[in-house]
Chain A
Amino acid sequence: MQIETRGLIRRFGSVVALAGVDLTIPSGLRIGLVGPNGSGKSTLLRVLMGLLEHEGEVRVGGFDPRRQRLELARQLAYVPQIAPALAASVTELARAVEALRDLDLAELRTRAEALGLRWSAIANVPLRALSGGMRQKLLVALALSARAGLLVLDEPTASLDAATRETFFHMFGELPATTTSILCSHRLDEMRHLVDHVVSLEEGHVRFDGPAANYLATRALSVIEVQLAAGADSGWLDDLGFAAGHAGWWRRTVAQREKVELLPRLAGMLDGRLVNLHVRDLESIAVDESREGS
């Protein structure tokens, strides 16, 4: 489902949430939508789904989201960032969705179980009585069972445990190649494994629109921590941009591309002075420094 926006503007009073967004997303692409808080990500998702009014031109799968919202909604599945605490039970919600759109309840149940929900235990429980994580799992299962041409996910794994996230990655990977998806997330592993294109927003402007690999090379951060033996010369670490810490530890945060360049140099220079070494990727990507496009 192809997505196109031209001069997309959305204001909330005096605040400009989207300031002229131009995007062309081909059908079947898996998009990662990133940006700091208040950058316009959720507003963009809502405009694309026809939930908000806007200025400018928007086409999603050939539909005008505002004028043809129902037609679009039949081909779209959405996981909101916060699952509402409805008083209706899981079964009541599932039956309502089944009546509203093509939904296989057996598939929903299978997916929900795979995501760690025990259907027999939650079927008659009001959504508001479920934990945030359980509600999120249910909404993910609902969205994936809808077999939609466009999947819109607003931080879908924010409340999920590690094992469930793995299952979600697996399910996401099994989606048909024709499914277009937009995943709003700050998590490095999701950007790395689930998307092939990144759109970065900042203050309502598109700051990056290109391949995920290019984006992650500069935005995914790693921390390198080196502990030197007592009395060892450390001035060279200062020259390499490391900051001194306690007990002989030195630390530097680097982008992925820098990490690949820096580690061999570091290994060559440590000689016999090394006591300990940590290299770890940060879970969140840096989203507030982007300036260039692809």
Chain B
Amino acid sequence: MSRRRTELVALARLDVHEVLRSRWPVAVVLLYSALAALLVFAALRESNVLGFTGTGRVLLSFAHGLLLLLPLLALSATGQTLNRAREEGALELLFGHPVSPGGYYAAVTLVRYGLLLVPLAAILLALPAITWATLGDPIPWAYLGRALAIGAALLWAFTGLGMALSAYVTSQARAAILVLLVWAGAVALVDFALIAVMLQWRLHAGTAFFLAALNPVQCARMALISGQDPELATFGPVGFFLAQRFGAGGLFALGIGWPVVAGTLAWLAGRARFRRGDLV
């Protein structure tokens, strides 16, 4: 094994132990499960949600819930990573050994992202499996794959943002506030909220739609329903506008691609900041 890979594995293993003992993965699993259970037992009563029926309907509702939940979980898991380790003296101890800042940054990211994604994948698979076993509904594999890809992209977007936040903001307390602000901004500035802002500020429609498309949550939402006919009621104004321009395939590609690009850019910016500045 190369030295760089050895370093990555050693640091990732150490961080896995740190994270597992902190018990937030348990909280993540509980939140995913609670959301899934809520939708199975409550939302199923609705006969039709946005044109979806059966298991697809539950998955759609679940995925919509995840659009709100995943950014918060990813930001909470990462936004205070580096500043907390610095304040607690863990960085001082680790960097007294041959540990590269880039290696540490990558290892911590990998662990946090993995521990968010694996339970998500498990729940997303479990949900249709349960409805198939209990109700006999066929498993909507295509939609399942789409939801998983979108969830993974959205998680990466906010994992990257969170890591950048923890590299740029040295105070844990300030980072906690910023985590909430970023999350609130991301989930608020979609569709109608953005249109309201647009009207209030008399923004050009194209500008408002462009701003909306920059929001990974909005992108993910559009990708989620991109298999549908572009109806205003289903997509919302921003999604409808973009669906008309890009079509279903383009919307899906944008919904997956932009969160990945945004997360990667933020992650790289955070890594550059972490490597460049004081380590402790």
* Shortest distance between the CB of B112 and any CB in chain A (Å): 14
Does A51 make an interface contact (CB < 8 A)? yes
* Shortest distance between the CB of B102 and any CB in chain A (Å): 11
Q: Which residues of A contact B92 (CB under 8 A)?
A: 46, 51, 78, 80, 84
Pair A88/B14 contact, Cβ less than 8 Å: yes
Chain A residue with the shortest CB-CB distance to B18: A87
Does B169 make an interface contact (CB < 8 A)? no
Report the Cα distance A70→B279, complex, angstroms.
13
Q: Which residues of B contact A96 (CB under 8 A)?
A: 10-11, 13-14
| B234-280 with Cβ < 8 A to chain A | 277-280
Does A189 make an interface contact (CB < 8 A)? no
Q: Identify 12 new A-B residue pairs, CB closer than 8 A, beyond the known A96-B14, A101-B98.
A: A46-B92, A73-B99, A74-B98, A76-B96, A82-B89, A84-B92, A84-B93, A88-B14, A95-B10, A96-B10, A99-B9, A100-B98
Mask: chain B, 188-221; 1 = CB below 8 Å from A; 0 = not: 0000000000000000000000000000000000
Q: Which residues of A contact B278 (CB under 8 A)?
A: 51-53
Pair B99/A83 contact, Cβ less than 8 Å: no
Pair A92/B14 contact, Cβ less than 8 Å: yes
User: A52 and B279 in contact (CB under 8 A), knowing A80-B96, A89-B17, A100-B99?
Assistant: yes
User: A93 and B277 in contact (CB under 8 A), knowing A70-B98, A80-B93, A84-B90?
Assistant: no
User: A88 and B97 in contact (CB under 8 A), knowing A53-B278, A83-B89?
Assistant: no
Q: Which residues of A contact B93 (CB under 8 A)?
A: 78, 80, 83-84, 86, 139
Seen from chain B, the residues whose Cβ lies within 8 Å of a Cβ on chain A are 6-7, 9-11, 13-14, 17-18, 21-22, 88-90, 92-93, 95-100, 277-280
Report the Cα distance A46→B95, complex, angstroms.
10
Chain A residue with the shortest CB-CB distance to B1: A99
Grouping DSSP codes into helix (H, G, I), strand (E, B) and loop, the A interface class, with mixed when no group exceeds half, is: mixed
* Shortest distance between the CB of A89 and any CB in chain B (Å): 7
| A60-113 with Cβ < 8 A to chain B | 69-70, 73-74, 76-78, 80, 82-89, 92-93, 95-97, 99-101
Q: Which residues of B contact A70 (CB under 8 A)?
A: 98, 100
Report the Cα distance A49→B21, complex, angstroms.
30
Pair B13/A78 contact, Cβ less than 8 Å: no
| Pairs of residues from A and B, 9 with the lowest C-beta to C-beta distance, nearest first | A78-B96, A99-B10, A87-B21, A84-B89, A73-B98, A88-B17, A96-B14, A84-B90, A51-B279
Q: Which residues of B contact A87 (CB under 8 A)?
A: 17-18, 21-22
Q: Which residues of A contact B99 (CB under 8 A)?
A: 73, 100
Report the Cα distance A89→B21, complex, angstroms.
10
User: A100 and B96 in contact (CB under 8 A), knowing A52-B280, A83-B89, A88-B17?
Assistant: no
Pair B280/A99 contact, Cβ less than 8 Å: no
Q: Which residues of A contact B22 (CB under 8 A)?
A: 87
Does A28 make an interface contact (CB < 8 A)? no
Does A36 make an interface contact (CB < 8 A)? no
Pair B90/A86 contact, Cβ less than 8 Å: yes
Report the Cα distance A85→B90, complex, angstroms.
8
* Shortest distance between the CB of A97 and any CB in chain B (Å): 6
Q: Which residues of A contact B21 (CB under 8 A)?
A: 87-88, 126
Q: Which residues of B contact A93 (CB under 8 A)?
A: 14
* Shortest distance between the CB of A269 and any CB in chain B (Å): 53
| A249-269 with Cβ < 8 A to chain B | none
* Shortest distance between the CB of B65 and any CB in chain A (Å): 30
* Shortest distance between the CB of A183 and any CB in chain B (Å): 15
Pair B96/A86 contact, Cβ less than 8 Å: no
Report the Cα distance A93→B99, complex, angstroms.
13
Report the Cα distance A50→B100, complex, angstroms.
11
Chain A residue with the shortest CB-CB distance to B99: A100
Q: Which residues of B contact A69 (CB under 8 A)?
A: 95
Report the Cα distance A52→B277, complex, angstroms.
8
Pair A49/B96 contact, Cβ less than 8 Å: yes
Q: What are 26 contact pairs spanning A and B, CB under 8 A?
A: A51-B280, A52-B278, A53-B278, A69-B95, A70-B98, A73-B96, A74-B98, A78-B96, A78-B97, A80-B89, A80-B93, A83-B89, A86-B18, A87-B17, A87-B18, A88-B17, A89-B17, A92-B17, A95-B13, A97-B97, A99-B9, A100-B7, A100-B97, A100-B98, A101-B98, A139-B93
Report the Cα distance A85→B277, complex, angstroms.
24
Q: Which residues of A contact B14 (CB under 8 A)?
A: 88, 92-93, 96
Chain A residue with the shortest CB-CB distance to B14: A96
Report the Cα distance A95→B97, complex, angstroms.
13
Q: Which residues of A contact B98 (CB under 8 A)?
A: 70, 73-74, 100-101
Pair B17/A73 contact, Cβ less than 8 Å: no
Pair A51/B10 contact, Cβ less than 8 Å: no
Report the Cα distance A139→B278, complex, angstroms.
23
Report the Cα distance A95→B9, complex, angstroms.
11
User: A84 and B88 in contact (CB under 8 A), knowing A89-B17, A92-B17, A93-B14?
Assistant: yes
